Structures are given as structure tokens and as C-alpha cells.
Amino acid sequence: MQIHQAALPWFRILLSAIVLLPFAASAKIDFTKEIWPLIEKSCVDCHRAPYEEDGKVKKPKGNLRLDAAWAILQGGEGGKIIVPGDPAKSELLSRTMLPEDDDDFMPPKGTKWTAAQKEIVAKWISEGADFGGWEGNKSGQPVTKTVAPPAQASWIQSHYDGLLKGLSPASEGELGKISAAGGRIAPLAASSPLLAVDFLVTREQATDDKIASIGSVKNQLAHLDISRSAVTDSGLAPLKGMPRLTRLDLHGTKITDAGLKHLADLPNLTYLNLYDTGITDAGAAEIAKLKSLRSVYLWKTKITDQGAQQLQKALPKAQVVWK
């Protein structure tokens, strides 16, 4: 299955071109010497371990730390920012390619990366994002290194392996419906029938009727990002009963507790991002029914500390982040 080029944003096309440059003739990128200085100078000021300043504890923006190898690979509240081997899907790089007036452009402050520096980062990612023994915290902040146990890695692999059983690829016609509605489509891995869909490029025009196009790939859809779109509570109805939906990003939308009722029958949902939405403690009660969840992000919602703590008790296997 091929991705519709019309569904790709310009920066992904550009990044795809970057990785075709004659990198093979040059030496392998040294993270410590060539990548870390860029991150340290442009990114770490906002994305480092919590620290105290003027009597207040400052936390990393977006719950994303870039001061340690494990933290870079883990990502933040919006998910992973590095896909080893694939610069075009790695937000650490793709966000630097956006127009500077775009809300998602990085870094919004500080030193911008040059075209040559972006090519170096692209090569490093395409080579597999090897840290070469670097573990972190060159900025001097304390690091608590956490290593996921083998059982966790095994669980993730078995989860996606299970989703593939009996699954056929979507047809060109089915994919075309999403592209025509302004959505982007990509397979989760080469030749995989599992799909990731987002409406990030057309988010202001991504209304309920456009988002409803995802119904054409109901069986294949695993990752859906409709963050900061125009979706309403009723626009979440097409999600009901999607058998393989694993990741759902709704941050920055106007959905309320009423919309969460459409998520009740999602047996494989493990990631839910509700950052900067109108969800309250009543919505937390709906989220608590999703026992498959492993990550829930609730920053800048109307959920109280008590409501979040109750949700954490209801979902003991999940990481619930609300402040």
C-alpha cells in the first residue's frame, strides 16, 4: 500500500528528499559532538528535568524532556518525537521545518536550526538515532533514569501483533475518501495494513463531516490525531466500536464530557490525549471505563485533583498526567 502524496504535508516531502541525499559516503553521525549541541542550545531550556526557580518548580513544556537519551526516546504528552530510521515521521525534526508563525514550530524561541543542521539531524535519525553511549543530562539537572522492563516491550509488541490478525489492507478507494477530506494517511510500518490518520494540515477545516471519512478505514485505523481540529462531541460518533484504534489525540479541541460517551466501546485504546479540552470530573468517570488505557493526558482540563486521583485508582495500569 502506498501513501497518497496529496495527503502528505510539504515538510514530509522535503524530509523524504533529505534522506535521499548521498549520506552513505560520509561518516556516521556522532550524537555527542553533532546532535547534542544543537538540542542543548535550542531546546533544553524549555525541555529539561523539573527545577526550582524563584521558589517555584518549573516543569518541562509538554511533559517533554530532551536532556537525556531515555527521555528523548520516550517523548512527551503528544507522544514520541523520534521514529528511528524515519526522519519524516520524527517530530523532533519535522517541527523545525514548519513556517515560523505556525503554533507547532520549534524552537519558538532561541537559536533556529540551519538547513545544514537539519540535514545532520535527519541523517542521525535515518541511521537509527544512535546515542553512542550518551545517557544525558549535560545541562547538569538531576536525571532519574527509568528503563521499561522487558515485559512492557513484550506487551506492546504482542498488542500490535494481535491487531494484525485477520486484517486486510484498505483499498485505494477507501484511502481516497480520507485524502479528499483533507486527512493524511500513513501505514504504521512498511507494508502494514494498520494505519495512522491525522488532520493536522487542515485542522481548522477539519469539521465533523470531514473527520467522518475515517469510517472508510474503520477496521485498519490504529492511530488517530484530530487535535486542534473543529471536531465537536457528535463528531466523535464514528469512533464508536473501532476494533483496532490504539492511540487517540484530541488535545486542543472543544469536546466536552458528552463526547467521551462515543469512546465507550474501544477495546484496544491505550493512549488518550485530552490536553486543553473542557473535560470535567464527569468525563473522568467515562474515561475510567476504558480499562485498556496505559497513558492519559489531562493537562489544562477542568478535572480536579480529586477527580484525577480517582481516575488513577480506576486505571492502575495507566499513567494519568493532569498537572
> According to the model, what pLDDT value does residue 97 have?
81
DSSP conformational letter for 136: B
Domains of the chain: 5-126 (no CATH), 150-321 (3.80.10.10)
pTM: 0.58
Cα(118)–Cα(195) distance, integer angstroms: 27
> According to the model, what pLDDT value does residue 280 have?
96
Instruction: For 302-321, write each residue's pLDDT tens digit.
Output: 999 999 999 999 999 898 98
* The pLDDT of residue 6 is above 60: no
Average pLDDT over residues 281-296: 94
> According to the model, what pLDDT value does residue 154 have?
57
> According to the model, what pLDDT value does residue 304 have?
95
Nearest Cα to 229, choosing from 242, 248, 244? 248
Length of the chain: 323
Instruction: For 72-128, write each residue's pLDDT tens digit.
Output: 888 888 788 988 888 878 889 888 887 777 778 888 876 788 888 888 898 898 888
